Chain A
Amino acid sequence: MDYETLMQLLASTLRLGTPLLFACLAGLFSERAGIFDIGLEGKMLMAAMASGATAAITGSAWVGLSAGICAALVMALLHGLASITFRGNQLISGVALNFVASGATVLIAQALFQQGGRTPPLSGAARFGPIHLPWAAEIGAVPVIGPIYQQVLSGQSILVYAALACVPLSWWLLYATRFGLRLRAVGENPESVDTAGISVVRLRYMAVLVTGILCGLAGTYMATALQAGFGREMTAGRGYIALAALIFAKWRPWHALWATMLFGFLQALALRPDVIEGVAHVSIPVPALDALPYVLTVIVLAGFVGKAVGPRAGGQPYVKER
């Protein structure tokens, strides 16, 4: 494999890792607050449909983005209603909302555009196009490091940079602010937070809403940047891969970046079986590469690569003492 191919692979890794990163951070906020969220997938799908449809109608990717975030927020509120207010089973709620999303997205897209559940192809201002970082050509001339800047980092959509910026932002929010401290506490020991006079319900709803916003970004990126428009089931299990990455990252923001980029790299590799054949001189079947993120997750879950222990109060509804 030459350097050029490696650069292509890495650029593709960043592109494919971005929705995973958004979704992974989304799951991180929810689960750190003690709310399991199997429904990342459904929220992404809703956001992808809403943003794709809105961008197609208005011709603006930014309006599409706000629609995507709103759609994911509605789904997040439903999950909050079921799991916080009515103390229902969080896992079942997530699974249910995923089905609701699979059905509703196609129904709405079909009713709006009559194109078999897809939204019309987007172009121009309706998509988030590539942004060329300053001095890309000049720095690109520097050997070895230059191409990384020019071909991998530069020329991505603005949402890719937003996702990367969300990593330090999430870290800061979780570990350097009062909100973050309380959020983490509510996922470990809600009783103590309640005793301190802080509302568990309010905190958990806020966490769920942050999850909605980030899933909205993930879905919008899928429909308006990674691809040009919404197609049925376009998230293709990315919500679950993000969940896997979250466990892989042991619920920490910086590790989430590495985990999602690793899974992004695997997805990029699955698109280029020729590269593997060239490097390893064996042909690995594409399905094996597709399954690799899931197999890796199972290995991590099994605790063979250090034990992954989630937030202690995760999945349990909080019942206030009377």
Chain B
Amino acid sequence: MTKLPKWADMVLVPVISLLLAAAISAVVILLIGGDPVEAVKVMVDGALGSPYGWGYTLYYATSFIFTGLGVTVAYHAGQFNIGGEGQAQIGGLGVALVCLAFPWPAWWMALPAAIVGAAVFGAAWAAVPAWLAAKRGSHIVITTIMFNYIAAALIVWLLVEVMRPTGQMDPATARFGAGTTLPGFHQIPGLDLIFTRKVPANVTFFVAILACFAVWLLLWRSRLGYQIRAFGHSESAARYAGISSTKVIMSAMLISGALCGMMSINNVMGEAGRLLQNSSEGAGFIGIAVALMGRNHPLGVFLAALLFGFLYQGGAEMGLWTNIPIELRLLLQGLVILFTGALDNMVRMMVAPFFRTRASAGVR
């Protein structure tokens, strides 16, 4: 097979994958009697047409940045973390415990504590599958899936039996105190000129950008990151070079779980103000699509998260204003994962002929 230039592999392949996924979705929309052009119009209008739409798009993107980074860090160590969903929900538990433990006087004091709570709980939920993979050779994909279900059951039990305040009907924790409310974009000086209505996007977005930078530093500018990437490339070579497989798997998975857990500051603390069932709403799984689409690079993850934020918000608007069900999002998400993650060789074969002619022309 022709080896593609790096830029084609990083940019062209994901873009073509996205176009393929969009094309198939358009055909599906036609088949179920919808109008794809109108659907795109509604999506763009609803997600990007107003500051209000952007407020939602960026809010979703924030969650997806965290889970996408989580999947990315694990991926570089050769581990496929499908457990982002469970880690995010348990991370939400950490956020809830921190927020409810203490009457926080100000959000900027509560935020660092909540970040620590979310990261520690998320990492803890990834720790058991990681340890089993490192020490007992258990398959990380299966164990992390199992831990998603265990997390969901645990949260249901905690919310129904333990953390629900007496007298409250719905399974949720008590509302967090006023001191934990994160400022939304409509409350941040400067941004409030653009975002005049209340939007869910909040300061967590900036934490997410910092996290992108931190992950880049970790993976490409630190000793541990080098070990993680070396291990992911070739386990045997890394071992021969004296890199401990236990250390790499454990640290990569713990960081991955911590990042997935940290998405909960955005939704649990920034939006809902209390812990609800299924708080992550599938963002853990979207992290897989975001990481694959973003080619497992923090910058790519950031861009892919924006794209999925747009698809998520636009899809919601589409479900509201057209006769196309909101589940089209799931289909599109599945197709993007399929083309970027599993059929990537097919996409490469599709673009390869163009590069082959140019390369051979150069030789001549």
Determine if A176 is an interface residue (Cβ-Cβ < 8 Å): no
CA distance A214 to B138 in the complex (A): 27
CA distance A16 to B225 in the complex (A): 46
A38-B141, A285-B157, A298-B147 in contact; A103/B338 too (CB < 8 A)? no
Residues of chain A contacted by B161 (CB below 8 angstroms): 285
Chain A: minimal CB distance from B284 (Å): 12
B150 touches A294 (CB 8 A): yes
Residues of chain B contacted by A106 (CB below 8 angstroms): 325, 327, 330
Chain B: minimal CB distance from A50 (Å): 15
> Which of A97, A108, A110, A243 contacts B338 (CB under 8 A)?
A97
Residues of chain B contacted by A108 (CB below 8 angstroms): 32
Chain B: minimal CB distance from A7 (Å): 28
| Interface set, chain A 37-86, CB cutoff 8 A to B | 38, 78, 81-83, 86
Give the interface size bracket for B toward A: 35 or more
Determine if B332 is an interface residue (Cβ-Cβ < 8 Å): yes
A103 touches B132 (CB 8 A): no
Residue of B nearest to A90 (CB): B342
Determine if A301 is an interface residue (Cβ-Cβ < 8 Å): yes
> Which of A91, A96, A298 contacts B80 (CB under 8 A)?
A91
B-side interface mostly:
helix
Determine if A220 is an interface residue (Cβ-Cβ < 8 Å): no
Residues of chain A contacted by B138 (CB below 8 angstroms): 298, 301-303
Residue of A nearest to B162 (CB): A285
CA distance A92 to B340 in the complex (A): 9
Which of B128, B329, B343 has most chain A Cβ within 10 Å?
B343
B153 touches A291 (CB 8 A): yes
| Interface set, chain B 145-191, CB cutoff 8 A to A | 145-147, 149-150, 153-154, 156-157, 160-161
CA distance A310 to B142 in the complex (A): 12
Chain A: minimal CB distance from B72 (Å): 14
Residues of chain B contacted by A98 (CB below 8 angstroms): 334
Residue of B nearest to A101 (CB): B334
A87 touches B345 (CB 8 A): yes
Residues of chain B contacted by A81 (CB below 8 angstroms): 343
Residues of chain A contacted by B288 (CB below 8 angstroms): 92, 95
A86 touches B345 (CB 8 A): yes
Residues of chain B contacted by A111 (CB below 8 angstroms): 31-33
Give the interface size bracket for A toward B: 35 or more
CA distance A88 to B80 in the complex (A): 14
Which of A78, A83, A87, A95 has most chain B Cβ within 10 Å?
A95
Query: How many CB-defined contacts (below 8 Å) exist between A and B?
Result: 152
A-side interface mostly:
helix
B329 touches A103 (CB 8 A): yes
Determine if B250 is an interface residue (Cβ-Cβ < 8 Å): no
A287 touches B329 (CB 8 A): no
A99 touches B333 (CB 8 A): yes
CA distance A38 to B342 in the complex (A): 13
Determine if A107 is an interface residue (Cβ-Cβ < 8 Å): yes
Which of B142, B150, B154, B341 has most chain A Cβ within 10 Å?
B142
Residues of chain B contacted by A103 (CB below 8 angstroms): 327-334
Query: B224-265, CB under 8 A of A: which get 1 and which 0?
Result: 000000000000000000000000000000000000000000
Known: A87-B345, A98-B334. 15 other contacts (CB 8 A): A86-B342, A90-B342, A92-B342, A95-B285, A96-B341, A99-B334, A111-B31, A288-B153, A290-B149, A295-B146, A297-B146, A298-B138, A298-B150, A302-B138, A303-B136
Name A residues whose Cβ lies closer than 8 Å to a Cβ of B: 38, 78, 81-83, 86-93, 95-104, 106-108, 110-111, 117, 232, 237, 240, 243-244, 247, 285, 287-288, 290-291, 294-295, 297-298, 301-303, 310
**6 examples of A-B residue contacts, CB within 8 angstroms:** A92-B341, A107-B328, A110-B325, A243-B142, A298-B138, A301-B138
